[in-house]
Amino acid sequence: MADQQTVDYRIIGIGALPRAGKDTVAELLVEAGYMAVSLGDIVREYCFVRHKDEPDPISRANTTETSNWLRTQHGADFVLKEALKRFEAERAKGGQFKGVVLHSIRAPIEVDFILAHGGDMVWIEADDEVRHQRSLVYMREGELPTTLEQFKAEEDEQWQPRPGIPTEVQMNVSYVREHATLVIRNNSNDRDAFLSEAKRVLGLT
């Protein structure tokens, strides 16, 4: 795996709150020759095991708890290192990529790594009400429906570090948004319009 000092490939990070369109943008970049690795999927893998006996093992509260636990137990950059390890394993098998897309970026250490290595940090902006409606339509296995108030309350823990847990291991999406180098807006349910705007911002047109 590449160390924290040097990489020989381009890194694009994608940050956003749930259901803003991270996966769609990642798919666009895969079509353009990148490999995508979801840090959120890595956390959910651990979350399914850690909360396997609960009716909603990958609820927002459980993924937040698992994310903080992983970073506390294994280091603030654990999820980042795991994502890069998976990318470099594919390259070692002969995969040819323009670079790696790391989506579901939520921690300052991940943002700092991407920017320090000359990458772009993409933020996708979408209103709470729009994202909540999408969450009800596109629920993952292990999720239960929530009210808008529950949806927003569960996300509050990701915006700023919470007391009682070391700051460096927690999610802080405010930091991610503030350090974005590119911003894509996605408040419409018009997929084609969103794809067109994403391609424009990413320079894929």
Model confidence pLDDT, tens digit, residues 133-145:
988 888 777 777 8
Structural domains of the chain, count: 1
What CATH number has the domain bearing residue 149?
Answer: 3.40.50.300
Beta bridge partners of 59: none
- Tokens read off for 158: 């990701």
Length of the chain measured in residues? 205
Q: How confident is the model at residue 157, as a pLDDT?
A: 66
Greater confidence, 161 or 2? 161
Mean pLDDT for the stretch of residues 92-102: 97
Does 2 map to a domain? Answer: no
Q: Domain of residue 17: give its range.
A: 10-198
Angle at CA of residue 109, ends 171 and 85, nearest 5°: 105
Helix (H, G, I), strand (E, B) or coil at 197: helix
Does 203 map to a domain? Answer: no
Share of the chain above pLDDT 90, in %: 63
Q: How confident is the model at residue 158, as a pLDDT?
A: 67
Q: Which of 79-83, 89-93, 114-118, 158-162 has the lowest mean pLDDT?
A: 158-162
Does 86 map to a domain? Answer: yes
CB-CB neighbours of 147 under 10 Å:
10
Does 93 map to a domain? Answer: yes
Q: How confident is the model at residue 80, as a pLDDT?
A: 96
Cβ–Cβ under 8 Å, residues 117 and 7:
yes
Model confidence pLDDT, tens digit, residues 46-85:
999 999 999 889 887 899 889 989 999 999 999 999 999 9
Position 156, amino acid: D
Does 105 map to a domain? Answer: yes
Mean pLDDT for the stretch of residues 117-128: 95
Rounded CA-CA distance 75/183 in Å is 29
Does 1 map to a domain? Answer: no
Does 192 map to a domain? Answer: yes
177 band by pLDDT with thresholds 50, 70 and 90: very high
Does 33 map to a domain? Answer: yes
- Tokens read off for 21: 């369109």
